[in-house]
Amino acid sequence: MADKHASQAPMAWGDDQPLVRVEGLRKSFGSLEVLKDINMWVMPGEVVTIIGASGSGKSTLLRCINLLESPDAGQVWFKDVNLTGPKTNVNALREKIGMVFQGFNLFANMNVLDNCTLAPVTLKKMSKTEAEAEAMRNLDAVGLTQFAKSPVTSLSGGQKQRVAIARALCMKPEVMLFDEPTSALDPEIVGEVLNVMRDLAAQGMTMVVVTHEMAFAKNVSDRVVFMDKGVIAEEGRPQDIFTHPQHPRTREFLARYLEDEPKEA
Amino acid sequence: MAKVDRQKGVRTSTKPPAPAGPHRDQPARKKGLGTFLREDHPYVLLGTSVLALCGIWLSMRPRSAMSFLAPYYGLEVALYWVLVAWVAVSVLALLTKILYKDDYRARSPFASEKAKPIERYLSYVVWAIVVVFFLDRAVMGFANTVSVAISSNSKPQGDDLAAVIFIVYECSGIFEAGILTTIELAVFGTVIAFFLALLLVFVRIQVPDRQDNDFVRFLKIVGSGFAKVYSTVVRGTPMMVQGLVIFFGVFSMLRDSGLSTQQANAIWSTFVAGLVVISLNSTAYMMEVLRGGIEAVDPGQLEAARSLGLSQWQAMRKVVIPQGVKNSIPALSNELVINIKDSSVLSVIGVFDLMFASNTAAGIYYTQTPVYAFAAVVYLILTYVASKLLNLLSKRLGAGSVDTTPSSN
Ligand SMILES: Nc1ncnc2c1ncn2[C@@H]1O[C@H](COP(=O)(O)OP(=O)(O)OP(=O)(O)O)[C@@H](O)[C@H]1O
Ligand SMILES: [Mg+2]
């Protein structure tokens, strides 16, 4: 896993500095405190998975990273820019932060190709043909070029999610956020989406993945963050978290997922 | 599972399986009386008999001056008796059927395979006879009324149909202008209102974004508040009152600004005033329709667009509003139909629409009911045609574009 970054060209932003940094993040919905003082960072090329029980605030944390949810307190840094700063151009920074949703959220009024080209054409002042060429490259990477002209409703869930990934990649993001990308899928097609994500990780994409797919967390991620009731209860390398969880809540949570599997898996 | 099984068990035990045997091929037993009577010859005997009765009734109506059957009295009597004979045969067939009940198919001569085609051809003859009577009595009768009415010098007395034909003919210019104005008011008013409503709904749904500075924030709050108040006021007051307030309000403003009455009338004609009123009124309703359509769009659509870096405005324009407008098409087209009808209240400010034309004609000839009934028929035709056209249009829009149904994504 460590050598997967070796082939990557050095980045302008130092490889030893966090690409995304979350400091003292707090968020409440009404009287419900969903995030309580979250501190987290993501290094370039790193794949971080966030696991935890339902309602522990995983989605909210992810949505705070690209400011779809605005934090009540604390800061979110992307490289050396404070996203939560009052003068920050959030729209421009969101171009660098791709996001994939549980519900796909493909634009229902467009076909697959237009879904992919809308943002590049609108924001990067790319010509339509240029954007389409780039879109076709990304659709090819997820194996869906033959559906380029199809309406999005004609796709299966797995295909929709792969289009959503391709759409996000068309903006050439530096980090990708995934919020339970396979939770709305039938078990037999979860694999096709996870494979695309695995490829992406192997190419060195920086990823933050909220997931209930423990095998993915264990095998693909560099670091696992366990959230419990709005705080990060425990984090560490997957082999440590999955074999020697320190926190009792982590143990309890993992026991539910791992009870059927052999311990060394 | 256990519950379902138990219910099944109960059902089978209370209702034993139907006994097999001769009863099973007697469907007439289980059907109602109506079904039994209609069986085998629903149209040929029964339906045509009803038609024949209509023909008999028509033949007993007085002949008009334009009747083409008048010279052939003998033929007419013969046709009349054919109809009567047909009804008699039908009654006979029905009685036979009731008499033989379950095995009438085998025993009734009217149900035999030989008789059936004959009955069918005879029924065509009956149809033809009824059509002849219809043409002679109804169509020629109407044509005669028309020709008498329009050649008359004064309003025909005692016959409402003749009276209304006379009046419509005499006032055809008035009615033409009125109908045209009604159509123009409704169509232009609806189109203008649609674009105003698009603008207004955009203002209405603004929510302060985290990047907005205080000025933009202020504008958004004021705009959204204005749209809310506008909608409440317009939808909460009658259009007739709005018409009076706007018409006289603007008129007196023009007069106050130093224009003469003629000049003010030239600028602020009743048609312009009516168009303004109907547009402003319809805007409020259409805004609410659009708002509903836009709010029905999955919020995930906006989030996905924002997550790619699109601004609030870009995301609304490219993703949310097109879907919201599409959601609203059926209710929006209904607004045209409503405007065709509701433009009638604008006659109160003197807009020369169909209602005003009817008022005028009714006043000239002092004939109310027939004239207003005519107006009602014209409104009905206009709204019916408009809704059919709009149906076609929205079907085409729905089918022609990429994706009509909001999906789960
Ligand atoms: N927009 C909102 N308004 C009010 N409450 C919210 C909102 N979004 C989330 N919450 C609440 O915040 C809590 C945390 O939500 P969040 O979606 O972050 O949990 P999660 O860890 O992602 O759970 P899951 O695994 O079910 O997706 C939940 O109790 C949820 O009901
Ligand atoms: Mg979630």
Q: How much is the ipTM here?
A: 0.90
B309:A123 CB<8 A: yes
pLDDT above 90 for A49: yes
pLDDT for the residue numbered B41: 58
- The CB of A55 under 6 Å from ligand 1? The reply is yes
Which residue lies with its CA nearest to atom 7 of ligand 1? Answer: A29
By the 8 A CB rule, do A207 and A19 touch?
no
Q: Which CATH architecture has domain B172-396?
A: Orthogonal Bundle (1.10)
Nearest to B405 among A92, A153, A160 (CB): A153
Task: Write the residue with the smallest CA distance to atom 30 of ligand 1.
Answer: A55
Structure letter (DSSP) for residue A132: H
Q: What is the pLDDT of residue B97?
A: 81
Identity of the amino acid at B120: R
Note the pLDDT of residue A256.
83
Pairing of strands A32-42, A206-210: unpaired
- Which residue from B minimizes the CA distance to A64? B307
Distance in angstroms (rounded) separating the CA atoms of residues B48 and B53: 9
Compute the distance from residue A194 Cα to the ligand 1 centre, in Å. Answer: 24
Indicate if the pLDDT at residue A217 is higher than 50.
yes
B154 interface with A at CB cutoff 8 Å: no
Confidence class for position A155, pLDDT limits 50, 70, 90 = very high
* Per-residue b or e along B89-111, where b marks 16 or more CB atoms closer than 10 Å to that residue's CB: bbeebbeebeeeeeebeeebebb
Higher pLDDT, A164 or B40: A164
**Ligand 2 centroid, distance to B36 Cα (angstroms):** 63
Domain ranges of chain B: 37-151, 172-396
pLDDT band at A125 (very low <50, low <70, confident <90, very high): confident
Residues of B within 8 A of A108 (CB-CB) are 298, 301, 323, 403, 406-407, 409
Torsion of CA B100, B102, B106, B112, to 10 degrees: 80
Residue to mutate (ligand 1; options A28, A31, A35, A56; most atoms within 8 A of CB): A56
pLDDT band of residue A9 (cuts 50, 70, 90) is very low
Query: Ligand 1 centroid to A232 CA: how many Å?
Result: 15
Strand A73-78 and strand A20-29: the pairing is: antiparallel
- List the single residue in A67, A118, A153 with the smallest CB-CB distance to B407: A153
Q: A238: Cβ below 6 Å to ligand 1? A: no
- Contact flag B403-A99 (C-beta cutoff 8 Å): no
Residue contact B304–A99, C-beta within 8 A: yes
pLDDT tens, A87-103? 889 999 999 999 999 99
Q: Give the nearest ligand 1 atom to A69 CA.
A: 1
Calculate how close chain B gets to A34, using CA atoms only, in Å: 20
Interchain pair B319, A107: CB under 8 A: yes
Please check whether residue B318 touches A, CB under 8 A. Answer: yes
Residues 6+ apart with CB under 8 A from B70: B63
Give the pLDDT band of residue A42 (cuts 50, 70, 90).
very high
* Residue A14: per-residue pLDDT: 74
Q: What are phi and psi of B108, to 5 degrees?
A: -75, 130
pLDDT for res B81: 93
Contacts of B306 in chain A (CB under 8 A): 68, 91, 94
Give me the pLDDT at residue B21, please.
41
Residue B198 CB coordination number (10 Å): 16
Q: Do B210 and A67 touch (CB under 8 A)?
A: yes
Tokens in use for B29?
């037993």
**Atom 13 of ligand 1: nearest residue by CA position:** A55
In the prediction, which pLDDT does A258 show?
67
Pocket test of ligand 1: the residue of A56, A60, A228, A256 to mutate, having most ligand atoms within 8 Å of its CB, is: A60
The minimal CB distance from B301 to the residues A66, A107, A151 is found for A107
User: Do residues B172 and B118 touch, judged by C-beta distance below 8 A?
Assistant: no
Q: Which of B303, B323, B403 sits opposite A105 (nearest CB)?
A: B303
Q: How many angstroms separate the CA atoms of B94 and B134, rounded? A: 27
- Which residues of chain B lie closer than 8 angstroms to A70, CB-CB? 210
What ligand is nearest to the CA atom of residue A34? Answer: 1
Listed in sequence order, the residues at least 6 apart from B212 whose beta carbon sits closer than 8 Å to its beta carbon are B220
CA distance, residue B169 to nearest chain A CA (Å): 52
CB atoms within 10 A of CB B367: 17
Atom nearest to A102 CA in ligand 1:
27
- CA-closest candidate to residue B330, choices B297, B290, B271: B290
Q: Is B308 in CB contact (< 8 Å) with chain A? A: yes
Tokens of B170: 């005499």
Size of interface A-B (CB pairs under 8 A): 99
pLDDT of residue B34: 66
Q: Distance between CA atoms of B179 and B186, rounded to whole angstroms?
A: 11
Taking the centre of ligand 2 as the mean of its atom positions, its distance from the CA of residue B19, in whole angstroms, is: 60
* Residue among A97, A109, A123 minimizing CB distance to B322: A109
Instruction: Record the tokens describing residue B128, joined without a space.
Output: 């033809």
C-beta separation of B325 from B290 below 8 A: yes
Q: Is the pTM of this model over 0.80?
A: no
Residues of B in contact with A101 (CB under 8 A): 300, 303-304, 307
pLDDT reported for residue B118: 85
Please compute the mean of the pLDDT values over residues A206-226 and round it to a whole number. 94
| Closest-CA residue to A61 (of A199, A260, A230, A198) | A230
Residue nearest to atom 12 of ligand 1 (CA): A34
Local confidence pLDDT in tens for the 409 residues of chain B: 334 343 433 333 334 444 444 444 444 445 566 666 666 655 567 788 889 999 999 999 888 888 888 888 899 999 999 999 999 988 888 888 888 877 777 777 777 778 888 888 888 899 999 999 999 999 998 998 888 888 888 888 878 888 888 988 989 999 999 999 999 999 999 999 999 999 999 888 887 777 778 888 899 999 999 999 999 999 999 999 999 999 999 999 999 998 888 888 888 999 999 999 999 999 999 999 999 999 999 999 999 999 999 998 899 999 999 999 999 988 888 999 999 999 999 999 999 999 999 999 999 999 899 999 999 999 999 999 999 998 888 888 764 333 333 333 3
3-state class (DSSP) for residue B309: coil
B326 contacts in A (CB within 8 Å)?
109
Cβ of A54 less than 6 Å from ligand 1: yes
In this structure, the residue with its CA closest to atom 9 of ligand 1 is A60
CA angle B244, B250, B252 (to 5 degrees): 95
Contact at CB, B308 and A167, closer than 8 angstroms: yes
Spatial separation of the C-alpha atoms in residues A52 and A256, rounded to whole Å: 11
